[in-house]
């Protein structure tokens, strides 16, 4: 497994096209973009269009991510955050 690093993304070249990992810079920009749209996400019943906007803004910043990748990344970040809070509140650290 070879990891090639660019300034914005890491590519895992395993022959099948690999998986693009989110860099710290990309994740930071993603959180910022998603935060700018928080109110819209809060009031929208369906947010497919909002994830398309997030993906478009990411592309404007040089990151190629689909709306579904953005949605999955957000869910992952929220779940990891909640897990961390639960762990810290449990007093086991």
Q: Where are the domains of the chain?
A: 24-90
Distances (CA, A) of 78 to 39, 48, 81: 17, 18, 5
Distance of CA 85 to the CA centre of its chain: 19
Three-state SS at 41: helix
Residue 19, pLDDT score: 61
The predicted model gives 61-66 an average pLDDT of 97
Tell whether domain 24-90 is in CATH 1.10.10.60.
Answer: yes
| 25-34, 62-71, 79-88: least confidently modelled range | 79-88
The predicted model gives 13-40 an average pLDDT of 84
- pLDDT of 90 over the 50 cut: yes
Residue 24, pLDDT score: 97
- pLDDT of 17 over the 60 cut: no
CA distance 89 to 92: 8
């Amino acid at each position: 497994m070879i990891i090639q690093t660019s300034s914005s993304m890491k590519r895992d070249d395993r022959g099948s096209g690999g998986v693009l990992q989110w860099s710290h810079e990309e994740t930071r920009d993603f959180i910022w973009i998603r935060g700018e749209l928080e109110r819209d996400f809060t009031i929208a019943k369906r947010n497919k269009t909002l994830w398309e906007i997030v993906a478009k803004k990411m592309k404007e910043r040089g990151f190629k991510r689909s709306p579904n990748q953005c949605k999955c990344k957000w869910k992952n970040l929220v779940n990891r955050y909640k897990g961390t809070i639960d762990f810290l509140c449990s007093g086991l650290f």
